[in-house]
Amino acid sequence: MLAACLRFLAFLAIAIGLASPAAAQKFEGLAQTPPMGWNSWNKFDCDIDERLVRETADALVSTGLRDAGFVYVNLDDCWHGERDADGFIQPDPERFPSGMKALGDYIHSRGLKFGIYSDAGEYTCQKRPGSQGYEYQDALQYARWGVDYLKYDWCYTGEGDAQRNPIEAYTTMRDAIHAAGRPMVFSICEWGENDPWTWGKDVGHLWRTTGDIINCWDCTVDHGTWKSYGIMQILDLQDGKRQAAGPGHWNDPDMLEFGNLATLAENRAHFAMWAMLASPLILGTDIRELDEAELAALKNRALLDVALDPKGIQGYPIRKGDGLEVWVRPLEGGDFALAFLNRGNQPLSENYAWPEDGLKDDFSGFEVDFGSDTFNIRDVWSGADAGDTSAPLSVSVGARDVAIYRLSR
């Protein structure tokens, strides 16, 4: 009876929200810079339990990653048990015997934030209970557990004419979170299939722009009904979407495969390009196994300052094709970041001549005339002075790596 009453109240709330759009809203003031943290899926798939989550929280603290800004500890699929007699979702009792409230309390005690996963369909992607028809109950349960971040997937939402309307589905959960009263970052994960960059700003704080990422530099894996994409493929699929990103509403090219790629160069190039994209930086590796060089790249303050620049302008390429790609990201105070990406398997070098017609970005209003402006150049990776724009920049980039610079007057 209680479950039926709650579902009726959920329907009533939806009806009121549709009649009075001004009353419906996401929690504002969250994700003013791209969220940073960890998610269990890329490395562990369904093999998760409370011991792993607690040890990951501890590792985020002991490695200094928490203090660098990686604060969200996000459980992905497979934490679910069954619903109780009143319809409230419960955790798997064998994997999470202490319960989610205790786990959330532990994460919070470590100065971190607690994230969880659900799905807009009848089931999650791994056939655990989804939230369709239970949105308000699930949001209330998450609030009771102290959840700070919800990733909301798109499996088992129907097909063809029977598929749920994505805007309606995600708006329903947005409104449920708001009704539950606890601010949560809301991550829309419908794989970019319904152009969420055109409608997601008013619904969530970030939205996936593509299908799933995979831990390879340059590949596509065809699973039959869907595909996974390597780092370079995901990067290319961001074209044409940058105007949608900004403080509180981010394009999400998926969680980081940093730590899961073949070389340090690939890992740090991946991380640097996601920083150039103003992407959320959610690690998907085993934090306990990161080595010192990997940790140094992740905690590089100059790169994180680019990633978290308060203007929130997404970077863009000014040169692609053979040789080094060149990407620009306008930053606060008239600074900008310049990244040289080597996609290939051999080192590349050049003396980069500053464009005679300067740089101009109509979207952000960023404009540089190298004839009248001189910028000082600092190597982001090393922190070393690299001269200024009065002379060409000597650039050398290893195979599958990135050189990145910050330029300021």
pLDDT tens by residue, 156-210: 999 999 999 999 999 999 999 999 999 999 999 999 999 999 999 999 999 999 9
In contact, 157 and 132? CB cutoff 8 Å: yes
pLDDT per position as a tens digit, 364-407:
999 999 999 999 999 999 999 999 999 999 999 999 999 999 99
Q: Is the pLDDT of residue 11 over 50?
A: no
Q: Is the pLDDT of residue 233 over 80?
A: yes
Report pTM: 0.94
Tokens coding 327: 């990407």
Query: Percentage helix, strand, coil, to 5, in the chain?
Result: 30, 25, 45
pLDDT band at 322 (very low <50, low <70, confident <90, very high): confident
Question: To which residue do tokens 């409104």 refer?
Answer: 175
pLDDT band at 24 (very low <50, low <70, confident <90, very high): low
Distance of alpha carbon 77 from alpha carbon 167, whole angstroms: 22
pLDDT band at 344 (very low <50, low <70, confident <90, very high): very high
Tokens coding 59: 């590792």
Q: Among 380, 325, 324, 327, which Cα is nearest to 347's? A: 324
Per-residue DSSP letters for 305-365? HHHT-TT-PPPEEEE-SSS-EEEEEE-GGG-EEEEEEE-SSS-EEEEEPPPTT-EEETTTT
Give catalytic residue positions: 153, 212
| Predicted pLDDT at 23 | 56
In contact, 176 and 138? CB cutoff 8 Å: yes
